[in-house]
């Protein structure tokens, strides 16, 4: 029976209290107080499920995080048609410190982190070691996911460790349950945040099972760590981790492009996806990226695809170049088929990304761990009916990332790590970094200094 557990968790960096409603298959309904909320494995596991649900909200991995990244990275490939002010600020690269999307991304991130911290602080209730390890690994995976994106959005790019000493985001390791637990931390350095995230994922890789249903597995932790190592320029680690995920044999690139998106269940290539159900999770990508025929807003999709985007394709037989539609009866612009179902899961880490990470890392290092880089790139191209390359350049690999991972939140971070300008803006322009929300600074002046340009 589908019922509701309301777990009252006092947390905030600034507001001092929030509550999180988790929908779980538990009977009967019950209200948990702070005195008894953590005294059994089932209750702690429920809080972990709540952390997944919180991550799947629209404010972050339910879609707005990807939309922020894509609009910030936009250089005439996209057009913002929407009426909401806040997303338009990302597209224009002029962001106010009271932008609600920014504030909600920050708060939701720390909500996820706090629930993960609560789980990690109550592991002693588990007598079964395997179950304890899995719960601990999942909590550390979710915490790592959150801090990785918080530091990428709210701090400068680490720039091959040059900016390690620059302000990052506050790391909070202990749970906040009551008002007495609230602290007012300063910002940790970028280097400290990356070290924290990498340590969490290294622990998660050891603790998690190889398969774990829709929840985080050791392969999901390896895949995320491969993404992180690529971001900071550690190509050897990125290569080896992506190779391990590929070699696990647990995942397979889908035969058809349609099978990779708009799924109720994970596809064969989903290493990890955010789950969207009738009771949990959200898919705001559908809201902003689809036309009203598929559940988006009336008229044009809020974000339409412009002609400039299609210049990255070298073969218009490539199915990814035609994975779009126009609702001519409403006069809509071009929309992507990736986000046409509002109740579909949101892919987070797909197998093609691992092949492209391995290809790029092998190319940079002059190695062929797993296979030659051209084979990885051609494997991704083959699914989309693009002609197979006979020779490979570094630009080919990056263009393949832009084609395969389009509209999934990667371009901004790729251009930063590759030091590629976005339009007239340098990769390290302050306008490509989100401001610390002003309401957070008002309550906690220790968050100063504010990011440059705000």
64 DSSP assignment? H
d(CA 289, CA 338): 9
Q: For residue range 279-310, list pLDDT tens digits in order.
A: 778 899 999 999 988 988 877 899 999 999 99
pLDDT, position 127? 97
Structural domain includes residue 122: yes
CA proximity to 412, closest of 16, 91, 6, 27? 91
Q: Is residue 338 part of a domain?
A: no
Confidence at residue 282, expressed as pLDDT on a 0 to 100 scale: 86
**Alpha-helix runs per DSSP H in 208-323:** 218-231, 235-247, 284-289
Q: Which two tokens stand for residue 49?
A: 């499920």
Residue 130 within a domain: yes
As given in the structure block, the two tokens for residue 453 are 């340009």
Dihedrals phi, psi of 163, to nearest 5 degrees: -95, 20
Is 58:342 a contact under the CB 8 Å cutoff?
A: no
Residue where the block lists tokens 């002059």: 366
Closest CA to 69 of 351, 433, 337, 421: 433
Query: Does residue 246 fall inside a structural domain?
Result: yes
Structural domain span for residue 423: 38-267+351-439
- The pLDDT profile of the chain, 454 residues, written as one tens digit per residue, is 223 233 333 333 333 333 333 333 333 333 345 667 789 999 999 999 999 999 999 999 999 999 999 999 999 999 999 999 999 999 999 999 999 999 999 999 999 999 999 999 999 999 999 999 999 999 999 999 999 999 999 999 987 789 999 999 999 999 999 888 899 999 999 999 999 999 999 999 999 999 999 999 999 999 999 999 999 999 999 999 999 999 999 999 999 999 999 999 999 999 999 999 877 788 999 999 999 889 888 778 999 999 999 999 999 899 999 999 998 766 679 999 999 999 999 999 999 999 999 999 999 999 999 999 999 999 999 999 999 999 999 999 999 999 999 999 999 999 999 999 999 999 999 999 999 999 999 999 999 999 999 9
Which residue matches tokens 């647990």? 250
pLDDT per residue as tens digits for the range 421-450: 999 999 999 999 999 999 999 999 999 999
Query: Is 450 inside a domain boundary?
Result: no
Longest dimension (CA), the chain: 65
pLDDT at 35: 60
The verdict on residue 444 lying in a domain is: no
Residue 392 lies in a domain: yes
Where residue 365 sits, what CATH number does that domain have? 1.25.40.390
Tell me what pLDDT residue 123 has. 98
Question: What pLDDT, on a 0 to 100 scale, did the predictor assign at position 237?
Answer: 98
For the entire predicted model, the pTM comes to: 0.92
Question: Is there a domain that residue 4 lies in?
Answer: no
**Into how many domains does the chain fold?**
1
């Amino acid at each position: 029976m589908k019922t509701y557990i309301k777990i009252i968790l006092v947390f905030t960096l600034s507001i001092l209290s929030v509550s999180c409603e988790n929908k779980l298959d538990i009977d009967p309904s019950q209200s948990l107080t702070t005195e008894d909320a953590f005294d059994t494995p089932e209750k702690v596991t429920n809080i972990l499920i709540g952390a997944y649900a919180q991550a799947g909200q629209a404010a972050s991995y339910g879609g707005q995080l990807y939309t922020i990244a894509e609009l910030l990275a936009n250089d005439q490939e996209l057009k913002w048609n929407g009426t909401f002010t806040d997303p338009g600020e990302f597209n224009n690269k002029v962001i106010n410190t009271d932008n609600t999307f920014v504030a909600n991304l920050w708060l939701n991130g720390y909500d996820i982190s706090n629930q993960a911290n609560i789980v990690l602080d109550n592991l002693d209730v588990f007598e079964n070691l395997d179950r304890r390890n899995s719960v601990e690994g999942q909590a550390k995976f979710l915490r790592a996911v959150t801090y990785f994106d918080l530091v990428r959005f709210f701090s400068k790019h680490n720039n091959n460790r040059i900016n390690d000493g620059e302000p990052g985001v506050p790391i909070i390791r202990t749970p906040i349950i009551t008002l007495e637990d609230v602290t007012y931390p300063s910002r940790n350095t970028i280097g400290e945040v990356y070290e924290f995230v990498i340590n969490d994922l290294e622990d998660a890789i050891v603790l998690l099972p190889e398969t774990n249903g829709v929840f985080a597995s050791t392969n999901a932790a390896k895949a995320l760590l491969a993404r992180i190592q690529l971001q900071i320029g550690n190509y050897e680690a990125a290569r080896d981790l992506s190779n391990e995920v590929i070699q696990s044999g647990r995942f397979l690139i889908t035969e058809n492009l349609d099978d990779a998106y708009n799924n109720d269940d994970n596809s064969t290539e989903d290493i990890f996806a955010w789950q969207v159900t009738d009771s949990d999770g959200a898919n705001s990508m559908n809201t902003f990226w689809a036309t009203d025929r598929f559940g988006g807003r009336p008229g044009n999709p809020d974000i339409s695809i412009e002609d400039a985007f299609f210049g990255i394709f070298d073969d218009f037989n490539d199915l990814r170049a035609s994975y779009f539609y126009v609702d001519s009866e409403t006069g809509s612009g071009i929309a992507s088929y990736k986000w046409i179902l509002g109740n579909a899961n949101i892919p987070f880490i797909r197998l093609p990304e691992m092949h492209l990470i391995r290809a790029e890392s092998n190319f940079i290092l002059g190695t062929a761990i797993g296979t030659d880089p051209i084979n990885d790139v051609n494997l991704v191209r083959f699914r989309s009916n693009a002609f197979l390359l006979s020779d490979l350049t570094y630009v080919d690999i990056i263009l393949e990332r832009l084609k395969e991972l389009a509209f999934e939140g990667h371009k901004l971070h790729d251009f930063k790590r590759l030091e590629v300008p976005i339009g007239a803006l340098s990769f390290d322009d302050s306008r490509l970094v989100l401001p610390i929300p002003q309401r957070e600074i008002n309550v906690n002046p220790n968050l100063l200094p504010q990011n440059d340009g705000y």
